[in-house]
Amino acid sequence: MTYPRFLVPELPNQGTVELPTNEAHHASRVLRCSKDDAIVLFDGLGNEAMATIQSIDKRTVSVAIHSTSFAPRDHSGRLHFAIAMPKGDRQRNTIEKLVELGVDSLSPLETTRSVAVVNEANAERLDRYVLEACKQCGRNRLMSIRPKLSVNDIRAYSNSIVSNQESDSIAIWILHPKIEGQPSHSIHGANSLAKSHEKLLFLVGPEGGFTDQEVVEAVGQGCRILSLGDRIQRVETAAATAAVLGHCWLAE
């Protein structure tokens, strides 16, 4: 059975908590929850709790916690994306798929052909999409929306993802068709390379694709070119395809 899920800033092992204002409104006015209804709480850090509504009105919802567990349902900091975000509702679709597929972080990528600008004003909207997707798919650790970056920032960005452990390494893939003078990998050919690394970072370009110069710069920053085949995929499709690949490579 699927229970309604609500985000709380702190999740004690036992006792009672009150839902934040927005979550209380969602429980009482949108979902029409009632006293004694079973629900799930999660804190966005990987913890969840089975709980029961003790009291509810239009503004406040008090909840009794029964049991807690740590169940993040992501890739534990191993799967990352930098994407030249599409416009409008396609941003929501992109984020939903990445959250559902366990991606750990997303950085908006600025490119020559980018069509959408991600700033502080609309970054809050992206966070809301992340939360809604986590509620839907049962994920308990929020996908991180990181600051925007450019292709020239990739080396420093990837270094920030890798820990100081000697065994920790990252494979960086730029999704792009083959270009003359640059080595490129098919999905099959990339398997062994990707599986030899602890972490993965995928770069997904805009609708018009990366420029050849951006690809050259990315290769200079340590990226490998990954071709997804003969058909050109839209941003959200390419991101979902890469996320599935990452899921498979990290699982083996």
Confidence (pLDDT) at 165: 59
pLDDT for residue 19: 97
Residue 145 amino acid letter: I
Which one has a higher pLDDT value, 15 or 119?
15
Q: Among 47, 70, 93, which residue terminates a domain?
A: 70
- The pLDDT, as a whole number, for residue 155 is 93
At residue 18, the pLDDT reads 96
Residues 12 and 131 in one domain: no
Mean per-residue pLDDT, 167-173: 85
Domain identity same for 150 and 246: yes
Record the pTM.
0.91
pLDDT at 163 over 80: no
Say what the pLDDT of residue 28 is.
94
Q: What is the mean pLDDT of the chain?
A: 92
Residue 148 DSSP symbol: P
* pLDDT band, very low/low/confident/very high, at 188 (cuts 50, 70, 90): confident
* Phi, psi (degrees; rounded to nearest 5) at 219: -60, -40
What does the pLDDT look like over 199-229, one tens digit per residue? 999 999 999 999 999 999 999 999 999 999 8
The answer to whether residue 25 scores a pLDDT higher than 60 is yes
Indicate whether 108 and 221 sit together in one domain. Answer: yes
Q: In terms of domains, do 119 and 234 share one?
A: yes
* Strand boundaries in the chain, DSSP class E: 5-7, 15-18, 38-42, 47-56, 61-70, 79-83, 105-110, 144-145, 149-150, 170-175, 184-185, 199-204, 224-226
Q: Give the range among 3-12, 24-33, 116-125, 184-193 with minimum mean pLDDT.
A: 184-193
Place of tokens 């396609």: 90
The pLDDT of residue 167: 60
Per the structure, the complete domain to which residue 116 belongs is given by 79-251
32 and 147 in a single domain? The answer is no
44 shares its domain with 100: no
Cα 20 to Cα 31: distance, rounded to the nearest angstrom: 15
CA 169: distance to chain centroid? 20
Q: Which of 36, 70, 104 is the last residue of a domain?
A: 70
| Residue 174 or residue 121, greater confidence | 174
CATH number at residue 29: 2.40.240.20
What pLDDT is recorded for position 231?
Answer: 87
Query: Are 144 and 235 in a shared domain?
Result: yes
**Same domain, yes or no: 85 and 66:** no
pLDDT at 166 over 60: no
- The predicted structure's pLDDT at residue 197: 79
User: Do 61 and 83 belong together in one domain?
Assistant: no
Tell whether 149 and 105 lie within a shared domain.
yes
Q: Given a cut of 70, is residue 181 above it in pLDDT?
A: no
Total number of domains constituting the chain: 2
Sign of the CA dihedral running 145, 160, 116, 86: negative
Q: How far apart are CA 133 and CA 227, in angstroms?
A: 28
- 158/237 same-domain check: yes
Query: Each residue of 34-91: pLDDT tens digit?
Result: 999 999 999 999 999 999 999 999 889 999 999 999 999 999 999 999 999 999 899 9
For the cut 60, the answer to whether the pLDDT of residue 152 exceeds it is yes
Is the pLDDT at 103 greater than 60? The verdict is: yes
| Residue 38: half-sphere exposure toward Cβ, Cα within 13 Å | 7
The last residue of one of the domains, among 70, 93, 125, is: 70
| Residue 230: per-residue pLDDT | 84
Shared domain for 125 and 154, answered yes or no, is yes
What is the percent of the chain where pLDDT is above 90?
A: 77
Pairing of strands 144-145, 184-185: unpaired
Domain with residue 191: its CATH number is 3.40.1280.10
